[in-house]
A and B are shown apart, each in its own frame.
Chain A
């Protein structure tokens, strides 16, 4: 499978221009014979939306942008970020990721963990998603995550327990911390790579992380997108800070090989985890 990473810098609050940017990169990915192209978090709108979040929210079934992207998905699978207005629950807007394939919406994941502290204020403007659910793409069982979701390891665990062999995180992560002179990137870049390495190895899954670049209101998006193999080996590492497009050959057979070498998946007991969690949650609530 060939996966294209589009480490781009979307225009803040200009979906028309961003749609063009997406279609350009999709064409490029098709011409490079990629099977899937992945864009960053909120790639159709930009990240620092504040009140614009509600104004730019779309219903995927009615959005003209989705119509264009669905057409494009007849040639190549797409993952991108957008603001979703719930069709069944108007007024609630989500920071969402979509997986489009063969002209259909295969899955929409609503970001569960909305960072709302320090420089982040997503909880002020978005409703939180309520589930992690892997789905089949025809090639591999896949799990979608949005940015901070990935830093809560329970999110990836759900995809692992649900049988995902491919975990895709789309991200708009600012780079922070420059006081480690020997590290090539920001301290926060190291944090994402650490998680990528650990989750890919212990889930025996391909982990794809697509982060954006560019500047918004003083925030510096760090780039540094990556792919790890099911053996926990880095098979792609994009540069920090620079816009970059890269097509990466990913051998999906490695998932099975890794799971034969390290039977974490075979020996996993989600029911034990579930029962333990249930007790923990019940006891905490009784306090």
Chain B
């Protein structure tokens, strides 16, 4: 699972530069949580376009992740990029005052979609393309909010597993405290991804790598030394979340239909 880091950096910075230009933008915007993924993405964006072309939005809900906010500020200052802090508490609280719930997943999804809605608004105001920061691990197991943190203009990091993103972060010399802290989606105080998923990223990524990249069957992954229960759970998570990775199906009734047999490239004419 080790990757050729200079080649990856060259490929991804080229991708950011080219796709931003093709989309008709000359700068990018991203939500900066102070976590590993958005930090690495910001570093790549600065390498691709220079600090003046990168805008970060820091969007805390109350003091749910104040450590993350501090890390995000530090990253923005180190990279010398423009950043804005937008507190999403008023709109989230107003909504849940009308429709109360204690369900942290519902609350977390709503927060992710508030941030998405602000990012898209600022994308239009600032004429900046939104960089997605979802990694391959969370895309595969569906650990993200559809139309929330998964929404973006382009995603430079979606083919890198979480542990590979960490390797890349080390290579790009991001702040050490971000490299070593436990990843969190910031859904509730003390929440960690690994606690919620029930597996360490190291183990999760190694299983996903065998299943996906090496095309092994679940039984073969078990034979390679992984617990059957864990392998089965991961396979189930992949299956259950396919809808998050696709455009919704369109009922085909005509002779030519969007998505079925009306097929044009994304980069059409660019």
Contact = CB atoms under 8 A, between A and B. Distances in A.
A215 B14 contact: yes
Interface in B1-59: 1-5, 7-8, 10-11, 14-15, 18-19
A50 B263 contact: yes
A218 B136 CA distance: 14
B99 interface: no
Contacts of A180: 4
Contact of A12 (B3, B5, B267): B267
Nearest to A14: B269
A178 B3 contact: yes
A240 interface: yes
B7 A185 contact: yes
B266 A217 contact: yes
Contacts of B265: 12-13, 46, 48-50, 52, 216-217
Contact of B11 (A12, A175, A216, A217): A175
Given A214-B18, A215-B14, A178 B264 contact: no
A181 B15 contact: no
Which of A12, A175, A183, A240 has the most chain B CB atoms closer than 10 A to its own CB? A12
B267 A215 contact: yes
A241 B263 contact: no
B90 to A, nearest CB: 37
A119 B262 CA distance: 18
Nearest to B14: A241
A10 B3 CA distance: 29
A52 B268 CA distance: 9
B115 to A, nearest CB: 24
Interface string B223-264: 000000000000000000000000000000000000000111
A51 interface: yes
A9 to B, nearest CB: 8
B270 interface: yes
Contacts of A46: 265
Nearest to A48: B265
Contacts of A217: 265-267
B202 to A, nearest CB: 16
A178 B1 CA distance: 9
A178 B268 CA distance: 27
Interface in B47-79: none
A220 B11 CA distance: 7
Contacts of B262: 51
Interface in A50-109: 50-52
Contacts of B270: 11-12
A240 B266 contact: no
Contacts of B18: 214-215
Contacts of B10: 241
Contacts of A181: 2-5
B7 A184 contact: yes
A186 interface: yes
A49 B265 CA distance: 6
Interface string A158-198: 00000000000000000100111111111000000000000
A179 B2 contact: yes
Interface string B204-228: 0000000001000000000000000
Contacts of A218: 15, 266
Nearest to A49: B265
B269 A11 contact: yes
A179 to B, nearest CB: 5
A46 B56 CA distance: 34
Contact of B15 (A13, A186, A215): A215
Contacts of B3: 178-179, 181
Contacts of A11: 269-270
Contacts of A12: 265, 267-270
Interface of A: 11-14, 46, 48-52, 175, 178-186, 214-218, 220, 240-241
Given A178-B4, A216-B267, A241-B11, 12 more contacts: A11-B269, A13-B265, A48-B267, A49-B265, A175-B11, A178-B7, A179-B1, A181-B4, A184-B4, A184-B7, A186-B7, A217-B266
Interface of B: 1-5, 7-8, 10-11, 14-15, 18-19, 213, 262-270
6 contacts: A49-B265, A178-B4, A182-B4, A185-B7, A217-B265, A220-B15
In the complex, the 3 A-B pairs of residues with the closest C-beta atoms, listed nearest first: A50-B263, A48-B265, A217-B266
